Amino acid sequence: MSIRVVVLVTITTVLAAALACAGSMEPVTAPVSVPYPDGFSQASIELDFGVAHIDADAAGTQLVEGNITYNTLGREPEITVSDDRVHIKQSGPAGVVGSGSINNWVLHFGAEMPFSLEIEAGAYTGNWELGGLPLTALNVTEGAASSTYSFSAANPEAMACLHIGAGAGSMRLLDVVNANFERLSYDGGAGSLVLDLGGELVRDGVVDIDAGAASVTVVVPEDTPARVDIAGGASSIEADAGFELLSGDYVTPAWTGHEGPGLEIQVNVVAGSLTLTLE
């Protein structure tokens, strides 16, 4: 009996030590302040973080600025600047994180220099207002997240590729045509995707959606020429009455006979559902 008591006490002591490693502390706010790099015509920004809440917008006066507030040991952010490259990384804490953990990021990007943006994220919540930013590329990889990416204003730069890799979370891409992409690719598992193709279409674009057991909603303005090619074994497909069937594809009213730029949309939903909406 006494041996069992000693073992239990030892395990409890070890667990307490592990919890202490990830223990909470008074909130600390780390500033983010990165000016435009001298002598370069463009830049790149990489963000690397795990569990967090993010609010980002295009209101910066520098390349990127803002603050990161956290109250857990092990989350001290590292900001590395090398020539035209910026890497902001936050490692995860050791041990078990308590329910009162705080990890809030507020970022403001500047619009005076073209840049590429790469986001490596875990299970987080985020609101990204990227309208008007001169983005040359956007690459997002995230886990079981809940995120919204908005493009309320046109990107003045031509974006070669907008790539999304998502896990089992939910994502909304709003007015994404304003991102001025040549190709948009989404590769996701379970969860949900709302792809709103609103915005001003100024050149041809390709949208490639590859999803597993996900709920996918594609929203297209009525006056945008678009054709939707559907593959895979979607459990259900619903399309607004305004879509027409043309050689097995769904097309918007503006597709037939259009002379300006258009969207070619390819959707592969393995076991999920697809909803096509006109607005």
| Structure token digits, residue 175 | 């007015």
117-146: average pLDDT:
96
The predicted pLDDT at position 225 comes to: 98
What residues does each domain of the chain span?
Answer: 2-278
pLDDT digits (tens, 9 = 90+) for 40-87: 999 999 999 999 999 999 999 999 999 999 999 999 999 999 999 999
pLDDT digits (tens, 9 = 90+) for 84-121: 999 999 998 755 555 689 999 999 999 999 999 999 99
| Structure token digits, residue 212 | 């597993």
Q: Is the confidence at residue 23, as pLDDT, over 80?
A: no
CA distance 202 to 52: 35
Say if CB 188 and CB 145 are below 8 A apart.
no
Say if CB 100 and CB 27 are below 8 A apart.
no
Q: For domain 2-278, say whether CATH 1.10.150 is its number.
A: no
172-184: average pLDDT:
98
Task: Give the largest Cα separation in the chain, rounded.
Answer: 86
The predicted pLDDT at position 87 comes to: 98
State CA 121 to chain mean position distance.
8
CA distance 158 to 135: 8
Residue of 45, 128, 120 lying closest to 90 (CA atoms): 120
| Structure token digits, residue 106 | 């507020």
CA distances to 49, 64, 66, 254 from 77, in Å: 9, 15, 13, 49
The predicted pLDDT at position 97 comes to: 57
Q: Which residue has the higher pLDDT, 259 or 9?
A: 259
Report the chain's mean pLDDT, rounded to a whole number. Answer: 89
CA distances to 54, 146, 196, 217 from 149, in Å: 11, 10, 10, 15
What b-and-e string marks burial along 183-205, b requiring 16 or more CB atoms within 10 Å of the CB? ebbbebbbbbbbbbbbbebeeeb
Report angle CA 49, 51, 57 to the nearest 5 degrees: 65
The region that residue 94 occupies, defined by phi over 0 for left and psi between -120 and 50 for alpha, beta otherwise, is beta
The predicted pLDDT at position 4 comes to: 29
